[in-house]
Amino acid sequence: MPVRSGNGGRSHISRRAAILSSGAALTAGFAGCLDSNGETDDDTGNGDGSIPTITLGHGIAAEEPLWLMEVISDELDHWGEAYEAEFIPFSANDERLQAFQAGELQAGTAAAITTIFATESGLPMTVVANVSQCREETFTEEFLVTPDSDIDGLNEESLQDTRIGICAPRSSCDMWAQSAALQAGLEVGTDVEVVVTPFPSMPEAVNGGEVDTAMFPQPFHHTGINETGLEPVFDVIDSTGFEHDLMELWFSTQFLENNGDVVELFLEDYSTAVDRFNDDPESSLEMIAEAGYVETPTELYVDLPYYTYSASPMTESLEEINSLAVDIGWLDEEVSIDHLWDLSYLPD
């Protein structure tokens, strides 16, 4: 699938390349990304009088129903008739937002905390649906340690003077690490150090002593426990204290204003894919693996636990994440997020 090349253009490289670069998240926040307003040169993505093409940037984890949507596009009611869509993989939230600022995307996925930062920065984007959630009844990421670790829980004595591996600064995993320190009465930078550690390197980093613990999503969670002998010590719901949205689906505000009816039909198809996944996750995961979205062997991938998938965001959790960002010092005050989402485009 096409992804952005280093010079800002498109190059046809594999999803594997995007997956293997998952540790290369940009660390400059949104600096340098605000010179434009995120608008494309036309209202529909093609401007030639045909049906609009939605160019959507997505991630490499926790987005299975969205990936399934592309896999089963021939079976959907509106894809190919009301709109076309081009799904482009990116390894980091910031990369997707930079592509949006460059006018390359009309839609995309972003971590819940990233959408709040985007709102603070004035990016013209609107959350229209949820992609994945961290809920008690399904998989949620855990912090793993070696069997002989002194970390035995979410407490001051365990976490004092430790190093916690995170995928990227100001990402969801960074937020969870910061929140864990806060819950233990500690401060990152003084009592706890966060260390950028690519997901694929986390098992080796923990076992090798480069970090004392790290937050593991799938399939790296499986690798850490089953192949390198790591053990869970607490999870991200423990660290935040609440269930929450993980990934959101957003559209350009301008695209919504000019093509609201198209977005409604797109979300009908997306909701169909979400229902399809929830009704038959095993065959859905098999199709996703065979389509090349993941590097994990199909027979293993279909047996991995998965997140809660729902088209409807838990908007109350966005408010809680907003407050948490203040508590951990990322924001001076809560961002006004009343206009962050518009769920009126979702089917009834």
> Which domains can be identified in the chain, with CATH numbers?
2-135+244-345 (3.40.190.10), 142-240 (3.40.190.10)
Does the pLDDT of residue 240 top 80, yes or no?
Answer: yes
| Best-predicted range by mean pLDDT (9-18, 20-29, 154-163, 288-297) | 154-163
Does the pLDDT of residue 166 top 60, yes or no?
Answer: yes
For the chain, give the mean pLDDT. Answer: 88
State the pLDDT at residue 257. 97
Helix (H) or strand (E) holding 249: strand 244-252
Helix (H) or strand (E) holding 129: strand 125-134
> Residues of the chain with pLDDT > 90: what percent?
80
State the pLDDT at residue 310. 97
The residue among 141, 119, 127 whose CA lies nearest residue 240 is 141
The residue among 313, 318, 306 whose CA lies nearest residue 281 is 306
State the pLDDT at residue 341. 96
* pLDDT band, very low/low/confident/very high, at 34 (cuts 50, 70, 90): very low
* pLDDT band, very low/low/confident/very high, at 48 (cuts 50, 70, 90): low
> Residues of the chain with pLDDT > 70: what percent?
86
State the pLDDT at residue 92. 82
User: Peptide bond before 219: cis, by omega within 30 degrees of 0?
Assistant: yes
State the pLDDT at residue 23. 35
Question: Mind listing the pLDDT tens digit for each residue in 247-304?
Answer: 999 999 999 999 999 999 999 999 999 999 999 999 999 999 999 999 889 999 999 9
Rounded to 5 degrees, what are φ and ψ at 192?
-135, 140
Instruction: Write the DSSP assignment of 58-112 as a string of letters.
Output: E-SSS-HHHHHHHHTGGGSSSBTTTBEEEEEE-SSHHHHHHHHHTT--SEEEEEH
Please give the distance of CA 111 from its chain centroid, rounded to a whole number: 4
Q: Which tokens sit at 243?
A: 């269930």
Instruction: Write the DSSP assignment of 257-312 as a string of letters.
Output: HHHHHHHHHHHHHHHHHHHHHHH-HHHHHHHHHHTTS--S-HHHHTTS---B--SS
Question: Mind listing the pLDDT tens digit for each residue in 212-238?
Answer: 999 999 889 999 999 999 999 999 999
Q: Report the distance separating Cα 192 and Cα 178, nearest Å.
A: 9
* pLDDT band, very low/low/confident/very high, at 107 (cuts 50, 70, 90): very high
What sign has the CA pseudo-torsion 205, 206, 212, 213?
positive
